[in-house]
Structure 1
Amino acid sequence: MSPQPSSAAPATTMRAAVCRRYGSPDVLSVAEVPRPRPGGGELLVRVRISAVTPTDCAARSARPAFARLAFGLRKPRNPVLGGLVVGTVAETGPGATGFAPGDDVVAETGAAMGAHAEYARVSAAGALHRPPGLPEEDAAAVADGGLTALPFLRDHARLASGQRILVNGASGAVGSAAVQLARYYGAEVTGVCSGANAELVSSLGAGEVIDYTEQDFTRVGERFDVVFDAVGTGSYGRCRRLLRPGGVYLTTVPGAAILLHTLQTRLFGNRRARLALTGLRSQAERAADLAVLTRLAVEGRLAPVVDGRFPLDGIRQAHRRVDSGRKRGTVLLTVR
C-alpha cells in the first residue's frame, strides 16, 4: 500500500508528559509541545495507550547513575518519555510503506522515546498492524513485558520443553510474560514473588511459587537450567548455586558485575551469566516479536496482566506506582 499524506492540515502542538530535569515524579508535568512530523520511513501515530515502565523511571530519575549515559548526562535528552505505542496512524512519512492513515498499530519508539504524548513517531519497519479482536489495552500489556521476556527466553536461554526455569520477579510485567512464555515452550516454572501475588503467578502457569518475603530463593535446594532475574534483585554470584551444569543466569539489569561475569563464564566454567540488551534489536526484529506476542494473545496463550490505568494527567501517580516496586504486570497510560 502506498503512503498517503493526511488530507487535513496537521496541528502544530500536542499535549505531552514532559521531564526536563532529573528527579522524583514531581519533576513531571503535562504541557503543550510541538507536534512531531514523520520523517523518512516513519509513521506519526495518534497514541491511545502507552505504558509506564522501569526504563521510563530510570530515564526520569537517572538511577542507577549509569542511566545518564543512555538518557543524557545533565538532563533527559528526550523530555517526552515512553517507548510503547498503541494507537492509530495519523500520517505516513516518505518511504513508509505498508501503512495508511487510520490503521491501528502497535510499535515501539526506540531510543527516541516520545510515547507519553498525544502523537508519537515510530519506524514503519518496527510497527505491526494490531490484530482484529485484540483490544488496545491487551496489546499494550502483552507487548510491554513480552518484548523483553521473549528474546531472553527464546534467543538467549534457548528454553526447551522439559527444562526447568526460575523467574525472579514473576508478577511484574516482564516476569508475568516470562512465566507464560516459559510454559508455552514446555518448561517447568518456579516463580519468585511476594505472597500477595502467589495466586496470580500460579494462575499464569508456575508450578511452584516462592514467597521472597518468607524465603531466600537463592537458598532453595533445587536446580534449574535457567534462572531469569527479571527485576535484577539477585546476582550471578548468589544464583550460581541454583544452576545445573550448562545452566544460564539471565538478568535484565545492566551493571559492571554482570558484564564481568558474562565475559568470565564465556571463557571458563560450565555455568553461564548473560546480559541481553533487548532494546538494541533491529526494528524488523521488534516487529517480528510483536507479531509473535500478539498472536499468542489472540490464541489465549498469553494473558495481559494490567496493574492499573492512569490518564496523561496522572503521569506522576503512574511513575510513583512503578517506583514502588509492587506493581503487578503493566502500568498503562491512557492518552485518548
Structure 2
Amino acid sequence: MKAAIRTQYGSPDVLKVEETHQPVPLENELLVKVYAATVNRTDCGILTGKPAIIRLFTGLLEPSDATTGTDFAGLVVAVGSQVTAYKAGDRIWGFNDRGLRSHAEYMTVSENEAIAVIPEGITYEQAAASIEGAHYAYNFIKRVPLGGNRKVLLNGATGAIGSAALQMLKYYGAEVTAVGNTPNLNLLKSMGADRVIDYTAEDFTQDREQYDFVFDAVGKSTFGKCKSLLKPGGVYISSELGPNAENPFLALWTPVTRGKQVRFPLPTDRKSSIGFIKKLLEEGRFRPIIDRRYPLADIAEAFRYVLTGQKTGNVILTCNQDGERV
C-alpha cells in the first residue's frame, strides 16, 4: 500500500509517498481502507513540530509516527478477534489529535478510539470534513452557557473550526456576528450568521457592539484587543495559546478579577465530540465545508496550501482512487 512517510519534523518537503506494508490489526483493532482524510491545522503542527509543546505528545526530537494524519473516513475490511462493536463492511470515521497514521491507503485503529459509524447519506469526504475542526469548535461551545439568545462574535468563521462553530452556535440559538473575508460573506450568511464583518474592509475589534462571548477560531487576535467587545462578565476564547502563550495564564488569572474572562479549552473528550457531531449530521443541522481535494500523491502540495492559512473550511485528501465516495 501507499502511505505518506517522513522521518523528521519539517516543511512539506520532508513528506514522501512510498510503498509500505499493509498493517495487520491486533485483536482489538480494525483494518480500515481509507477513502478520505483531511489535511488540517493539527496535522501541520505534527508535521512541523511547531509549536514546540506539541512534541511532548508526538516525539521530542523526531516524530514517533512516520505517517501523518489525525482523522479519517473509510471502510472496515477486517477486524481483530476481540472486536465486538464493528464488523467488516462498516463505514466509519474518527479522530485523534495525537495522530492516527491515516494519510495512507490502509490503517488500523482500536475499537476504543473516538470512532463511529458514518450516518446514512453522508459521504466519506463529508464525514472526514466533519471532525477535526468541529471537535475543537465543540470544545469552545461547551465552555460557556449558550441559553437565552446570547450574542457571540466569531472571528475566523470561514475556517474548519470557525465554520463548525458558527453552525453549532446557531444550533443553540445564539445571535452570531461572523468575521470573514469578502469572497465568503455569502457562505457565512448561508450557514446562519445574523451579521457579517469583512475583515478586509474593517477591523472587527473596533466594532461598537458588545457581546457575551468572543470566539477567535484562528487565534489571530488577543484578549487585550477584544476586551472592549465584551459585555461585563463576558468571555474570550481563542483556539491558540496567544502571541506570548498568555491565554492559559489569563484563563487562570481573569476569573480571580471577577470581570471579563479568558477561558482556554482543553479538547480532550474526542468521543463526546464525535457523538455530538454525528447527532447534528443525522438531524441535518451540520454542513461540512470543503475547499479543495488532493490525491494522496499530492499530499505535500495539500500541506503547503493549508500552511498558507487561507483555506476555507476543510482540505480533503483522497487516499484511495477506486471511485468510491459514498
TM-score, normalised to structure 2, is 0.91
Aligned to 1:60: 47
Aligned to 1:322: 306
Q: After TM superposition, which residue ranges in structure 1, 4 or more long, deviate above 6 angstroms?
A: none
One-letter amino acid of the counterpart of residue 62, structure 1: G
1-structure distance, mates of 2:197, 2:123: 32
Query: Which residue, 82, 85, 93 being the options, matches 1:95?
Result: 82
Aligned to 2:323: none
- Encode CA deviations 1:119-139: one digit per residue, 9 max, x unaligned: 222231322111122111111
User: What SS does the corresponding residue of 2:258 show, helix, strand or coil?
Assistant: coil
Aligned to 1:143: 131
Runs of 5+ unmatched residues, structure 1: 1-13
User: What SS does the corresponding residue of 1:48 show, helix, strand or coil?
Assistant: strand
Query: Which residue, 64, 89, 105 being the options, matches 1:118?
Result: 105
- Encode CA deviations 1:211-255: one digit per residue, 9 max, x unaligned: 122222112111111111111101122212211122211111135
Distance 1:201 1:92, change over 3 A: same
Query: Which residue, 252, 261, 273 being the options, matches 1:263?
Result: 252
- Contact 1:246/1:272 (CA < 8 Å) preserved in 2? yes
Aligned to 1:224: 211
Distance 1:112 1:170, change over 3 A: closer
Aligned to 1:212: 199
- Contact 2:71/2:102 (CA < 8 Å) preserved in 1? yes
- Contact 2:95/2:131 (CA < 8 Å) preserved in 1? no
- Contact 2:42/2:97 (CA < 8 Å) preserved in 1? no
Deviation at 1:159, TM superposition (A): 2.1
- Contact 2:38/2:71 (CA < 8 Å) preserved in 1? yes
1:18 aligns with 2:2: no
- Encode CA deviations 1:180-208: one digit per residue, 9 max, x unaligned: 11111000011111122111111111111
User: What SS does the corresponding residue of 1:66 show, helix, strand or coil?
Assistant: helix
1-structure distance, mates of 2:52, 2:138: 27
* Superposition map of 1:148-167 within 5 A: 148-153=136-141, 155-167=142-154
- Contact 1:109/1:123 (CA < 8 Å) preserved in 2? no
Structure 1 window deviating more from structure 2 (215-224 vs 139-148): it is: 139-148
- Contact 1:85/1:109 (CA < 8 Å) preserved in 2? no
Aligned to 1:10: none
Aligned to 1:292: 276
Aligned Cα root-mean-square deviation (Å): 1.7
Structure 1 window deviating more from structure 2 (87-96 vs 44-53): it is: 87-96
Deviation at 1:277, TM superposition (A): 2.3
Deviation at 1:115, TM superposition (A): 0.9
Aligned to 2:324: none
Aligned to 1:8: none
- Contact 2:95/2:132 (CA < 8 Å) preserved in 1? no
- Contact 1:41/1:93 (CA < 8 Å) preserved in 2? yes
2-structure distance, mates of 1:289, 1:58: 21
Deviation at 1:40, TM superposition (A): 4.9
Deviation at 1:266, TM superposition (A): 2.7
Equivalenced residues, count = 317
- Encode CA deviations 1:253-277: one digit per residue, 9 max, x unaligned: 1353011101101322222111112
One-letter amino acid of the counterpart of residue 264, structure 1: W
Determine what percentage of the aligned residue pairs are the same residue: 40
Aligned to 2:264: 275
TM-score, normalised to structure 1, is 0.89
User: What SS does the corresponding residue of 1:170 show, helix, strand or coil?
Assistant: coil
2-structure distance, mates of 1:311, 1:46: 15
2-structure distance, mates of 1:306, 1:194: 16
- Contact 2:185/2:198 (CA < 8 Å) preserved in 1? yes
1-structure distance, mates of 2:214, 2:180: 14
One-letter amino acid of the counterpart of residue 133, structure 2: G
User: What SS does the corresponding residue of 1:308 show, helix, strand or coil?
Assistant: strand
Runs of 5+ unmatched residues, structure 2: 321-326
